[in-house]
Amino acid sequence: MLHNALRGIKVVDLSRILAGPWCTQNLSDLGAQVIKVEHPERGDDTRGWGPPDLRPADGGQSMSAYFMACNRGKQSVAIDFSTEDGAARVRELVADADILVENYKAGGLSKYGLDYASLARVNPRLIYLSITGYGQSGPMAGKPGYDYVFQGMGGLMSYTGQPDGTPGAGPLRTGVAVVDLMTGMYATSAVLAALRQREQTGLGLPLDICLLDVAVALNANQGANYLVSGVAPQRSGNAHPNCAPYEVFACADGHLILAIGNDGQFARFAKVAGHPEWAADARYASNSARLMHMDSLRPMLAEVLASAPRKRWTDAFDAAGVPWGPIHTLDEVFSHPQVQHRGLLQTTTHPVLGEVRLVRNPLLAGTLPEELGAAPPLLGEHTDAVLANLATI
């Protein structure tokens, strides 16, 4: 099972907020030992990003839901590495580590002797992952930045939201920090590739992953659309730029997502809708034609779908093989039979906070619940145990 794939790998995690912790949580879920180094007083910034949070009955240290989302399975060690003694402690941790992850400003750790050049002398096999806003070089390398900034700067918000001239028009961010999350995923892939390379070379290396690069890459087909056509994509609400009809429609009692991906699906949809002639109409027979004529097709689709309850349509779509989807609230998500079947809700127990409910890592599909990582740690929860072990190395 993948939950043991990185057993024996030691990670020193100096990262905070989301992108770095998302990466190190992946590594922990895959079996690595992740030692999260936090300031003894402040800890990771997101510890205070609540409510909601969990609080022990005795009124002690709380833990925000945000922090819990990206820090399970880690050991928290409280060290102030801005002091000479604290920096020395981190170097001790790194001496036999495989990976270090940090997300300070470019060059920010060099004054503590915790930069790659310094630590590579201590441990030449160290894979040193730096996550920054703008990268390790360039005119903006030293500038800090958060996910929201890069959703705008990288182009994502320029075509996300309702189109001009419609209610609520204007740029819109995604509902979660998608650039941070994808940076964490790219970082995870880079670390795993670096481990494979180290098997061949015997040496570690520095990795430079930044949110700006990820934000630009995230444009995916929208970016390719621009590079091919020279035309910047515009906001189109819930409509898809390359498939049609592929958007949200209102039924008599709610909404559904109609996700037509090819002409055969559209023909089957048209038959279910009671208008098989649409599939024979030159304006709608092909995907490219539908994209060009959605202004005339959309009102007809809206009128038909609004004429009946959602279940009438969804049952008929399922029978005909027409792709569709619901728009669930999160209570509906976690009560859905398929979500429950996949075991996506993970319940674990913290010795102080009690039951903690988290989302299973999709990398671990098919893994038994009891084989997953421990609950997220309280600040400094493992300091004594980890540092005592250091003294015996």
The answer for 22, left when phi > 0, alpha when psi is -120 to 50, beta otherwise, is alpha
Residues 6+ apart with CB under 8 A from 75: 33, 34, 35, 36, 377, 381, 382, 385, 386
Q: Which residue has the tokens 């992850």?
A: 101
- C-alpha 296 chain-centroid distance: 37
DSSP 166: S
- CA separation for the pair 210, 183 (Å, rounded): 7
Rounded alpha-carbon distances, angstroms, from residue 172 to 154, 160, 176? 13, 5, 12
* Residue count (the chain): 393
Q: Which of 124, 90, 91 is nearest to 204 (CA)?
A: 124
331 is catalytic: no
Residues 6+ apart with CB under 8 A from 128: 99, 100, 102, 116, 119, 120, 204, 205, 206, 207
> How far apart, in whole angstroms, are the C-alpha atoms of residue 348 and residue 121?
40
Q: Which two tokens stand for residue 235?
A: 């906001």
Q: Which distant-in-sequence residues (6+ apart) come within 8 Å of 86 by Cβ? A: 79, 80
Among 59, 52, 7, 46, which residue's Cα sits nearest to residue 28? 7
Q: What is the 3-state secondary structure (H, E, C) of 225-282?
A: HHHHHCCCCCCCCCCCCCCCCEEEEEECCEEEEEECCCHHHHHHHHHHCCCCHHHHCC
Choice among 180, 213, 263, 318 that is catalytic:
180
Nearest residue to 236 (alpha-carbon basis) of 298, 143, 186, 308: 298
List residues with catalytic annotation.
180
